[in-house]
Structure 1
Amino acid sequence: MIVTWAFGHLLGLKMPEEIDKNWQTWQMETLPMIPKQIGIKPLPKTGQQLKAIKQLAHRKDVKEFVIATDAGREGELVARWILEWIHFNKPVKRLWISSQTNKAIKEGFKHLKPATQYDALYESALARSKADWLVGLNISRALTVKYEDSLNAGRVQTPTLSFVRQQEKQMDKFRPQTYYRIELEIEGQKALRVQNNPYEIKDQQEAQNLIEQMKQHSGTVVELSEKTKTENAPLPYDLTEIQRTANQRYNFSAKKTLSLVQSLYETHKVVTYPRTDSKYLTNDMKKTMKERLQAVANFAPEVKEYIKAGATVKQKAVFNDVKVTDHSGLIPTEQRASPAKFSNDEQKIYNMIVSRFLTLFANPHKKLQQKATVAFANERFVFTQNKVIEPGWKPSEDTSETTVQWQKGQKVRPNFSIKKELTKPPKPLNESTLLEKMEKFDLGTPATRAEIIEKLIRSELMERTPNGLQVSPKGKQLLDLVNPSLVTPDLTKKWEDELEAIAQGKFSSNKFLKQIEQDTKQLINEVKQSQKKYQDFSLTQKECPKCGSFLREKNTRDGKIYVCSNSECHYHRRKDPKVSNHRCPQCHKKMEIIEGKNGAYFRCKFDGITEKIPNKKDQKKKMSKQEEKRLLKQYSKPEEPEEGPLSIALKEAMNKED
Structure 2
Amino acid sequence: MAKALFIAEKPSVAQEFAKALKINTSRRDGYLEGDNAVITWCVGHLVTMSYPEAYDEKYKKWSLATLPFLPEKFLYEVIPGVEKQFKIVSGLLNREDVDTIYVCTDSGREGEYIYRLVEQQAGVKKETKKRRRVWIDSQTEEEILRGIKEAKDLSEYDHLADAAYLRAKEDYLMGINFSRLLTLKYGNAISNYQGTRYTVISVGRVMTCVLGMVVRREREIREFVKTPFYRVVSTYAYGGGGFEGEFRAVEGSKYANSPKLYKENGFKEKKDAQELIDALGAVQPIEAVTDSIERKKENKNPPLLFNLAELQNECSRLFKISPDETLRTVQELYEKKLVTYPRTDARVLSTAVAKEISKNLRGLCAYPAAGNFAQEVLEAGSYKSIARTRYVNDKQITDHYAIIPTGQGLGALQRLPAQSSKVYELIVRRFLSIFYPAAVYRKINLVTVIGGEKFFSSFKVLEEPGYLKVAGVRQNKEEQIDTGLLSALQSVKKGTVLPVEKLEIKEGETSPPKRYNSGSMILAMENAGQLIEDEELREQIKGSGIGTSATRAEILKKLIANKYIALNKKTQILTPTLLGEMIFDVVNRSIRSLLNPELTASWEKGLTYVAEGTITPEEYMTKLNNFVRSRTENVLNANIHYELRSVFDAAAKFYDAKGRTGSGQQKSGGKKNGNSKNQQPV
Q: TM-score, normalising length from structure 2? A: 0.76
SS across alignment from 1:334: coil
Residue 443 of structure 1: aligned partner: 546
SS across alignment from 2:374: helix
The alpha carbon displacement at 1:208 in A equals 1.4
Number of positions where the alignment pairs a residue of Structure 1 with one of Structure 2: 546
Q: Which runs of 4+ in 1 moved over 4 A?
A: 396-401, 534-538, 550-555
CA distance 1:387–1:150, shift in 2 (3 Å): closer
1:230 to 296, 299, 307: 299
Residue 465 of structure 2: aligned partner: 391
CA contact (8 A) 1:281 1:320 kept: yes
Work out the CA distance in 1 between the residues paired with 2:117 and 2:175. Answer: 21
SS across alignment from 1:67: strand
Counterparts of 1:180-579 in structure 2, within 5 Å, are 180-186=230-236, 187=238, 188-195=242-249, 197=263, 200-215=266-281, 218-266=287-335, 268-297=336-365, 298=367, 299-300=369-370, 301-310=372-381, 312=383, 316-338=389-411, 339-395=413-469, 397=475, 401=483, 402-403=486-487, 404-405=489-490, 406-414=492-500, 415-441=502-528, 442-465=545-568, 468-482=573-587, 483-533=591-641
Work out the CA distance in 1 between the residues paired with 2:606 and 2:384. Answer: 36
The alpha carbon displacement at 1:313 in A equals 6.0
CA contact (8 A) 1:123 1:503 kept: yes
Work out the CA distance in 1 between the residues paired with 2:265 and 2:493. Answer: 31
Residue 39 of structure 1: aligned partner: 75
CA contact (8 A) 1:463 1:471 kept: yes
SS across alignment from 2:98: coil
Work out the CA distance in 2 between the residues paired with 1:370 and 1:453. Answer: 44
SS across alignment from 1:317: coil
The alpha carbon displacement at 1:377 in A equals 4.9
Q: TM-score, normalising length from structure 1? A: 0.79
Work out the CA distance in 2 between the residues paired with 1:313 and 1:275. Answer: 27
CA contact (8 A) 2:105 2:111 kept: yes
The alpha carbon displacement at 1:553 in A equals 6.1
The AA in structure 2 aligned to 1:519 is F
Counterparts of 1:593-632 in structure 2, within 5 Å, are none
The superposition leaves residues 493-544 of structure 1 with CA deviations (integer Å, 9 ceiling, x where unpaired) of 2211211111101101111111111111111112212322367999x9xxxx
CA distance 1:553–1:176, shift in 2 (3 Å): closer
Q: Higher helix share goes to which structure?
A: 2
Counterparts of 1:69-88 in structure 2, within 5 Å, are 69-88=105-124
What percentage of residue pairs aligned between the two structures are identical?
Answer: 29
CA contact (8 A) 1:155 1:491 kept: no
The alpha carbon displacement at 1:367 in A equals 2.3
Work out the CA distance in 1 between the residues paired with 2:169 and 2:143. Answer: 34
Stretch moving more, 505-514 or 197-206: 197-206
Unaligned runs of 5+ in 2: 1-36, 188-198, 251-262, 529-544, 658-671
CA distance 1:134–1:199, shift in 2 (3 Å): farther
Residue 42 of structure 2: aligned partner: 6
Work out the CA distance in 1 between the residues paired with 2:149 and 2:517. Answer: 45
The superposition leaves residues 173-221 of structure 1 with CA deviations (integer Å, 9 ceiling, x where unpaired) of 1233322111122221223223581674132221111122334585221
Unaligned runs of 5+ in 1: 541-549, 561-658
RMSD (Å), alpha carbons: 2.4
CA distance 1:317–1:504, shift in 2 (3 Å): same
Stretch moving more, 465-474 or 144-153: 465-474
Work out the CA distance in 2 between the residues paired with 1:32 and 1:75. Answer: 30
Residue 174 of structure 2: aligned partner: 135
The AA in structure 1 aligned to 2:289 is T
Work out the CA distance in 2 between the residues paired with 1:392 and 1:194. Answer: 35
Stretch moving more, 25-34 or 379-388: 379-388
The alpha carbon displacement at 1:387 in A equals 4.4
The AA in structure 2 aligned to 1:319 is V
Work out the CA distance in 1 between the residues paired with 2:600 and 2:206. Answer: 6
- Highest Rg: 1 or 2? 1
